[in-house]
Amino acid sequence: MYYLVVDLEMTGPKPGYHDIIEIGAVLLNEEWHKISTFGSLIYPQDAETMTTSAEAIHGISIDDLEDAPMLGEVLDDFEIWIRKSLRRDDFANLSDVMVCGQGILHDLNFLQYAYEEENKQWPFSKKVLDLISISYFGFTVLSNNGVSVPKTHGLNAVAGYFGLSRSETEHDAVEDAVLTAACFQKFHELFLKLKIA
């Protein structure tokens, strides 16, 4: 299994109404080692849907997106990047690539909707992995063994536990995907050492 850690920035919170405006992703191998990274801005299908609250979070304005490619082009580039990184031909199945992320269901809903909107078949595994779930169970086990852990499961809290942090204060899809991937790697290392009696 390969792991595709994805982070998206959108014009607002509702798939089908709001649009993806940035995608960041990290592709990792079976041992959670980074293969490569992808990032692109995306011009929204409907620029009018950009909310001020979303812009306040990610700091991306419509002006920033003026020269960005459209969704269909970015999804094509996204798949080409994955296939090239895995050294596969254009028609190879990607069902052994698991989509992962922090609160991944929200981003997954947007990404699957984008594939449908562009009349593209979903190429990835139906299995998903969420850092919130992993951190919930991982921190519960650690806490039960007397280890001090964060009380929340947001990306900053999980990353901070492992001594990791963003370099920027604003959300950036590529940086957040890289940080999320690093947290998955740390949990993988931790779980390999953990013994439960």
pTM (2 d.p.)? 0.94
23 in Cβ contact with 8 (< 8 Å): yes
Comparing CA positions, the residue from 143, 125, 178 lying closest to residue 5 is 178
Q: What pLDDT, on the 0 to 100 scale, is given for residue 88? A: 84
CB atoms within 10 A of CB 117: 16
Q: What pLDDT, on the 0 to 100 scale, is given for residue 93? A: 82
| Tens of pLDDT, residues 106-150 | 999 999 999 999 999 999 999 999 999 999 999 999 999 999 999
| Tens of pLDDT, residues 63-99 | 999 999 999 999 999 999 999 999 987 667 899 999 9
Tell which CATH classification among 3.20.20.70, 2.40.50.140, 3.30.420.10, 3.10.310.70 matches the domain 2-193: 3.30.420.10
- Domain extent listing, the chain: 2-193
Dist CA 23 CA 76 (whole Å): 13
125 in Cβ contact with 3 (< 8 Å): no
